């Protein structure tokens, strides 16, 4: 996959809480905002936020928005 080809481990894939996200959003779950911002650069989004979760087993959560197809075409 695209993320794996850039050395990101994809641990889990699931549907978001809703399906009307207009833009892709990235959440830093463990206080490593720089890593989340680098992933944001890779996916072409500035929507990067810290939203820590206690006992999170992932560092970063990505919610793909309706903009992702266009963004991936632009950055490839």
**pLDDT, tens digit, for every residue of 44-57?**
999 999 999 878 88
Say whether pLDDT at 76 is over 70. no
Confidence at residue 25, expressed as pLDDT on a 0 to 100 scale: 98
* pLDDT tier at 1, thresholds 50, 70, 90: confident
| Structure tokens that stand for 11 in this block | 């641990």
Name the pTM for this structure.
0.87
Instruction: State both tokens at 35.
Output: 């890593």
The answer to whether the beta carbons of residues 25 and 65 sit under 8 Å apart is: yes
């Amino acid at each position: 996959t695209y993320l794996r080809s850039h050395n990101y481990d994809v641990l889990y894939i699931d549907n978001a809480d809703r399906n009307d996200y207009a833009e892709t959003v990235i959440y830093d779950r463990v206080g490593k905002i720089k890593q989340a911002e680098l992933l944001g650069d890779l996916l072409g989004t500035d929507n990067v936020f810290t939203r820590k979760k206690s006992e999170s087993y992932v560092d970063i959560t990505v919610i793909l928005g309706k903009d992702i197809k266009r963004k991936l075409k632009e950055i490839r």
